[in-house]
Amino acid sequence: MSTENEGNEVPPAPSAPPAPVESPAASADPVTHASGAPDPVTPPAAPGQEPSAHHAHTHAGTTPGAPSHASGAGAWPPPPPPAVPSYAQDGGSGSGWGASYAAQHPEGSKPAGRRGGLIAAVLVAALVAGGVGGGIGFWAADRNDSSTGSTTVSASNTPADLKRDPGTVADIAGKALPSVVTIEAQGGNGEGGTGTGFVYDKQGHILTNNHVVASAADGGKLAATFSDGKKYDAEVVGRAEGYDVAVLKLKSPPSNLKPLPLGNSDKVAVGDSTIAIGAPFGLSNTVTTGIVSAKDRPVTSSDGASSKSSYMSALQTDASINPGNSGGPLLDAGGAVIGINSAIKPAESGGGLGGGGQSGSIGLGFAIPVNQAKYVAQQLIKTGQAVYPVIGASVALQENTGGATISREGASGTQAVTPNGPADKAGLKPGDVITKLDGSVIDSGPTLIGQIWTHKPGDTVEITYKRDGKEHKVDVVLGERKGES
């Protein structure tokens, strides 16, 4: 799909054999490259097979399958022009594609007048092809195609006249697209990227991912473009790095904003239909479909630009999600938002679509449950900062360790269990291994953090832990932490 080489495209070979024209007698020897090897002749294309693109360039004017004529006046194929367009780095020197004709054929052996013969042949071919096409077009129009005996039946409605039944993907997408925006974020250094967001309320707030806008949060530029092409400048209201949620506000919002309805992610069931909308690889207003593949999936994500990670107990979907879908809505079968598309599991080999280390969708996409995103958005709009529920203990962040182990020491040499904090009051100690929270299995520290962050400060949770090989249960009242640590 890249257009970077469009200016260098070589015209394809004529579709019909050019008519022979008189030209000086040509040498019967095959054309040779600088290396001395004869230039291969393109064989006739097999039925249904396209001719080689390389030969379409190196033998412009040659048609595969054209009858061979004797050398001399009207010989076909005609010899190449005195110079071939240069594509080589060295301006046409050397051999191969892009090498100069003069370098391949000494001046003394070059027959005179060949260039005129080739150009004339190509022009005649073009005129013949154009004349035939025009003649057929006029003949068909004059006949009005009334004598063919063919009968066709037209549909009763054109696509524009068809009405989409309520609840169909087309109906839901048609209603949701005007409320989804493509976000362009540009940092102060000129670097940035593209993501997605959606209208949260009529006041002009846009809900998206933190990693979509992080590069432009301090002194950068943000713009939101709607599906009708109208673009609006925006600014960051608040960001929550740990939740990977951010709220923007349009500086001059239109008066006809339609917020997307928010669903209840707690009521979602595995197998429910999903619709994702976003701008994968910059392709705005892209709609994909799938199902809810799993719930409460522990996911740790990072955009690679920050040392801080985000933790979520995510909705998993097989709807195609790619770079650029981040921040866009994941809808249910009724058109309500059930999540914010945030992360994908790329193929292990990496690379993916377009290279650069960006992998495409392999059917493993993850979304922040909308109930959590809504709670965070309300905090950001109200105070500009997020509030995190905590247990007051540091845990090891290794994956799949059979539980979340309370560290022996906290960050920067602090105590792992905060004195008089929630964990301390419940009797938890360094070395304890937390294996369950409210009955949900905890297999690592990141899983524990993601589960805790589905709650609110002040909630009471039941924690199951192991100490000295024995299992214990205890209730913990969650504390709070304001802002990013």
Please give the full DSSP string across 310-345, using - where no structure is assigned: EEEEEEEE-S---TT-TT-EEE-TTS-EEEEEEEE-
Catalytic residue (choose from 205, 244, 313, 444): 244
Nearest to 325 by CA among 352, 285, 353, 271: 285
Cα angle, residue 153 at apex, residues 151 and 157 outer, rounded to 5°: 160
432 three-class SS: coil
Catalytic residue (choose from 320, 326, 359, 444): 326
DSSP state of 184: E
Long-range contacts of 268-273 (CB under 8 A, 24+ apart): 268/292, 268/295, 268/315, 268/332, 268/338, 268/369, 270/294, 270/295, 272/332, 272/333, 273/332, 273/333
Alpha carbons 114 and 111: distance in angstroms, whole number: 6
H or E element in which residue 176 lies? helix 169-176
H or E element in which residue 238 lies? strand 231-240
Six token digits for residue 36: 């001395």
Q: How many CB atoms are closer than 10 A to CB 166?
A: 10
Catalytic residue (choose from 211, 301, 407, 432): 211
The reply to whether 265 belongs to the active site is no
Beta-carbon contacts of residue 165 (< 8 Å; ≥ 6 apart)? 171
Cβ atoms of 254 and 202 closer than 8 Å: no
The reply to whether 211 belongs to the active site is yes
Cβ atoms of 185 and 222 closer than 8 Å: yes
Nearest to 369 by CA among 267, 441, 241: 267
The reply to whether 244 belongs to the active site is yes
Q: How far is CA 52 from CA 56, 83, 289, 386, in A?
A: 6, 22, 38, 60
Six token digits for residue 82: 């005195």
Alpha carbons 383 and 377: distance in angstroms, whole number: 10
Beta-carbon contacts of residue 32 (< 8 Å; ≥ 6 apart)? 38, 39, 104
Alpha carbons 52 and 333: distance in angstroms, whole number: 48
224 three-class SS: strand
421 three-class SS: coil
**Which residue reads 């619709």 in tokens?**
275
Residues taking part in catalysis: 211, 244, 326
